[in-house]
A and B are shown apart, each in its own frame.
Chain A
């Protein structure tokens, strides 16, 4: 028996941004075993807990009507996730991202993915603002936020007190 999520598939030159599916779990679990996951709630070496983490990422879609997309390079395997994220208790709606293995870093995948995510959130979802909550020592994500033209909002509150809150430029895709 198959139960599938409802939502769009977005495409860019190199990437397919698709809905998460059960077969993505093993790659996510491998990511959560590494320190690379420390900025998204990891590391988590208990597979049962990783499975529950994945479960709530999937469940975010039906509960909000939107959620985070799997970045698929065309081989069906997830390279990471990117997209809108707003669990209960978040001060405001966020755009989040993660790349799950070192080999995928430095290729501009997140910035490219955002060329499809921005139109989706501004036009399809009708958001008028969005933030990314980034831990101060997450240099890679800070660089990505800056490349996207997002700027530090010193007055905004993140889910964790120490988070830096980067605010995205509404309306378009900054070059």
Chain B
């Protein structure tokens, strides 16, 4: 049974919607978005959020909004991303709220999202595409057990590193 709502010790992961718009725009218009195609102006930022919402309909899966149970605030997104021009399916994450850094929030969310991708979506492998200068994301990928895959195809035109996650059987 496929679930659209995941819960962890501190977090709720749910489909993104209008409740997340304000925080999504705040992130995508900020310098924090520099590794993920930003910063954007407000119009573009809204469309970027709408695109993440639409991804769920076009693919049947997507990036979850990561909600902090304690504050009920959306602090980022984490989940499955596969736009039509991506070489393969990705596990992605953006941490919107700087106050959530250094607390293992992104790790907790990504672990839950990866388990969901493997168990519910049936993925047999997964990569994360990370900008070479995005030290925080590289550290998170390594903590998740992902390793650099030099041979994997890269999406788009910007330089990026491909981290491949351990296969489902390696995690069980």
User: Chain A: residues with CB nearer than 8 A to chain B?
Assistant: 1-5, 20-22, 25, 46-48, 51-52, 54-60, 62-65, 87-89
Contacts and interface: CB of A to CB of B under 8 A. Distances in A.
Judged by DSSP, the binding face of B is helix
A62 B43 contact: no
Contacts of B59: 22
Given A25-B58, A63-B21, A48 B83 contact: yes
A56 B25 contact: no
A96 B160 CA distance: 38
A72 B149 CA distance: 45
Nearest to A65: B18
B60 A55 contact: no
A56 B83 contact: no
B166 interface: no
25 contacts: A1-B61, A1-B121, A2-B60, A3-B60, A5-B57, A22-B59, A46-B85, A51-B84, A54-B54, A55-B51, A55-B83, A56-B47, A56-B54, A57-B54, A58-B54, A59-B50, A59-B55, A59-B57, A63-B17, A63-B21, A63-B46, A63-B50, A64-B18, A88-B43, A89-B42
A87 B84 CA distance: 23
Interface in B52-79: 52-62
Contacts of B18: 62-65
Given A52-B83, A63-B50, A88-B45, 16 more contacts: A1-B121, A2-B60, A3-B62, A48-B84, A48-B156, A55-B55, A55-B83, A56-B47, A57-B54, A58-B57, A58-B58, A62-B18, A63-B17, A63-B21, A65-B18, A87-B47
B165 interface: no
The 9 closest A-B pairs by CB, nearest first: A48-B85, A88-B46, A59-B50, A59-B54, A58-B54, A59-B53, A89-B43, A55-B54, A56-B50
